[in-house]
Amino acid sequence: MTRRALVVGAGGLGGPLALALGAAGLELWIVDPDVVEASNLHRQVQFTPADVGQPKAARLAAAVVARGGVARGFQTRWTPDDADDLGEAMDLVVDGCDDPGTKFGVADWAVAAGTPYVIAAAVQLGGNAMAGAPGAACYRCLFEAPAPALQCATAGVLGPVVGAIGGVAAALAIGLVRGDRTHAGSIFVFDDLRAGADPRIVRFQPRPGCPACARAPVATRRAESA
């Protein structure tokens, strides 16, 4: 049976994520509202100068298909209002966008839908990748609420950083979709990839009173309390 994944963000992180997931045999829906810019090319290796001005989601989907995968691109921003339509029948959700609010929205929706997910971030010289699944601590258990943060558009990011973190995020995602929950409720943190490629792996427990966990399917909440 073909597994399906929703990829939110088609940029520096979304590129390696989508290419790896497509190569692993997942059918992808890719959402991103932006177009390719020349300034993206040093860190978004899925694009070429010929893609400049074209929708990122469509061009990334085409790159996946060119490598033998199955993908569709949607030039739209992920929003809670559209989440059910975009995420329906998905086995996995991965986020590689550059917006903290969207990351929380994606994670909250995945928890409420009982869908495994990975949230990845990269900026300057490092970043992180967090894996979540039903019954495990969630993204909001750890970070609680969106807060002002550095973003690639303003703070920049070293080109290879997004490839490295995107690869780790893809590996976590493939594990989740294959039923491996070993790292669910864990975050892989890369402080400075110039200093080494080994992340700090931090496993955390569900936070009492977490509003996202409170929206999880009833069966999941019962399993947690058993």
Burial class (CB in 10 A: 0-12, 13-18, 19+), 192: exposed
Query: With a cut of 70, which residues of the chain have pLDDT below it?
Result: 149-155, 218-226
Q: Which residue type occupies 88?
A: E
Span 4-225: which CATH code? 3.40.50.720
Give 170-193 pLDDT, tens digit per residue.
999 999 999 999 999 999 999 988
Q: Can you give the pLDDT at residue 150?
A: 63
Q: Can you give the pLDDT at residue 198?
A: 87
Q: Give the separation between CA 54 and CA 111, rounded to whole angstroms.
A: 33
Q: Give the separation between CA 77 and CA 61, rounded to whole angstroms.
A: 16
What is the token pair recorded at 86? 């975009």
Q: Can you give the pLDDT at residue 50?
A: 96
Query: What percentage of the chain has pLDDT greater than the value 90?
Result: 73
Angle formed by the axes of helices 56-66 and 14-23, nearest 10°:
30
Q: Can you give the pLDDT at residue 225?
A: 43
Q: Can you give the pLDDT at residue 223?
A: 42
Buried b / exposed e over 138-157, threshold 16 CB at 10 Å, is bbbbbbeeeeeeeebeeeeb
Q: Can you give the pLDDT at residue 87?
A: 86
Start-to-end C-alpha separation, the chain: 32
